[in-house]
Homo-oligomer: A and B are copies of this chain.
Amino acid sequence: MRLTKQTNYAIRILMYCAANDGKLSQIPEIATAYNLSEAFLFKILKPIVKHGFAESIRGRNGGIRLAKPASDIRLSDVVRITEDNFAMADCFESDGTDCPLIDHCGLNSALREALNAFFAVLDKYTIQDIASSNSRIDELLGLHLLEGYEGPGMKAVQ
Please give the residue numbers on chain A whose beta carbons come within 8 Å of chain B beta carbons, in ascending order: 1-5, 8, 11-12, 15, 33-35, 75, 83, 85-90, 98-101, 104-107, 109-111, 113-115, 117-122, 124-125, 129-134, 136-137, 140-142
Contact = CB atoms under 8 A, between A and B. Distances in A.
The majority secondary structure among interface residues of chain A is helix
Contacts of A8: 89-90, 107
Which of A33, A114, A122 has the largest count of B CB atoms less than 10 A from its CB?
A114
Contacts of A35: 98-99
Contacts of A121: 110, 113-114, 117
B15 A134 contact: no
6 contacts: A2-B87, A11-B107, A15-B107, A75-B107, A104-B133, A106-B125
How many copies of this kind of chain does the complex include?
A: 2
Given A86-B1, A104-B134, A75 B110 contact: yes
Contacts of A88: 2-3
Contacts of A3: 1, 88-89, 111
